[in-house]
Homo-oligomer: A and B are copies of this chain.
Amino acid sequence: MSMDHRTHTAGGDEKEILTIHDVARELGVSASTVSRAISGKGRIGEETRQRVLQFIQDSSFHPNAAARSLAQSRTFNLAIIMPEVRDLVDMPFFHTCMHGAEEVAQSNDYDLLVVTTDGTNLRPLERMVGNRKVDGMILTRTYAKDVFVEYLKQSGVPFVTVGRCYDPKVLQVDHDNSGACKELVMLLISKGMEKVAYLGGGMDQMVNIDRFDGYRQAYAAYRMETEKKWIRTDLTTKSQIAKAVDDLLKVGVDCMLCQDDYICDAVVHELADKGVSIPKDMRVASCHYSRLLDNFPVTITSLKFDIMDIGRKAAQVLIDQLAGKNPSTLTMLDYEISLKESTK
């Protein structure tokens, strides 16, 4: 063997770094043969193919990702775009989603890059796209008016959104938030809770728009009317939620439907503070289950979505797209209604 092999930086007994040329020379074949054996592309004799593969197995050869990337104009990297961590509360969703995506990425020989952004700053994305560091992107949250979607569309990078998106051409993976909420509310109504209050916030996000839509659809299905005073879609802070709960108690409703686990958490705490017993004095349900809801003395009725799975599906759809298959543009995932004490 030649002695001019580069070794890795730090001290240690690391193995030398081989190239396909090294392998080729060692085997008395040409570099292109080695390349073919590895990629499986192009004609190659079964015998030599096995010989090369065997040698590679035993040796410390790994193809150089950068070189491969340069030659093929592919990076084998995907990026996942995460919202900035305002509060730890809604981290679970995005992180679970991320792990799902990573799992599928790995098993398809892709690596996953994380990018965090607030809702407005495009810089990090522009850099990635510009430098061509990734083959495709996963957007984990969508807005009614979404600058990221707009940017990604015009940039030409393949991408998929977790969450619905108005443009039917965009690859989308989502739970049936609207359908799930509709079914939940219809169930509540059918159990005698005719006045279901809706506590929400952030109606700029698609997921919230869908959930609220489901709520209204449920009433429409029963040919019943919702009342304005039951509906609060402007809640962001804990104190706002607390105040809304107080207001609704005076208004007199049968059940408080919370847009997500965060709101539900605040609602349950406020009710406890007021000495209002669940479900005796007030019913409660959440449009999104998380572990937060397990910490109450009373179990909470909620919608359950398989979050890991949505991450997996998103990555899979994207990878299919990159592979030239034409995945269906909208992948709708199932939900589960978990009926508990809080709506007894």
Give me the interface of A with B, judged by CB distance under 8 Å: 6-14, 60, 62-67, 69-70, 73, 75, 77, 85, 88-89, 91-92, 95-96, 98-99, 102-103, 106, 109, 111-116, 124, 127-128, 130-133, 153-158, 265, 291-292, 295-296
Contacts and interface: CB of A to CB of B under 8 A. Distances in A.
B116 A114 contact: no
The 4 closest A-B pairs by CB, nearest first: A8-B156, A62-B130, A66-B69, A14-B156
A60 B130 CA distance: 8
A88 B98 contact: no
B131 A63 contact: yes
Contacts of A106: 115-116, 124
A210 B99 CA distance: 29
Nearest to A85: B99
A149 to B, nearest CB: 12
A131 B85 contact: no
B96 A64 contact: no
Given A8-B155, A70-B70, A130-B62, A116 B102 contact: yes
Given A8-B155, A92-B91, A65 B132 contact: yes
Contacts of A116: 99, 102-103, 106
A291 B14 CA distance: 43
B154 A13 contact: yes
A103 B85 CA distance: 11
Contacts of A102: 114-116
Copies in the complex: 2
B154 A128 contact: no
Given A88-B92, A112-B113, A295-B295, 6 more contacts: A7-B156, A12-B154, A62-B131, A85-B99, A106-B115, A111-B133
Contacts of A7: 156
A153 B12 contact: yes
Given A91-B92, A103-B116, A116-B103, A156 B291 contact: no
A114 B98 contact: yes
A157 B62 CA distance: 15
Contacts of A158: 9-10
Nearest to A100: B85
Nearest to A268: B295
Nearest to A290: B88
Contacts of A75: 65-66
Nearest to A71: B66
A163 B91 CA distance: 23
A156 B313 CA distance: 35
A109 B124 CA distance: 9
Nearest to A133: B65
Contacts of A291: 88-89
A260 B63 CA distance: 43
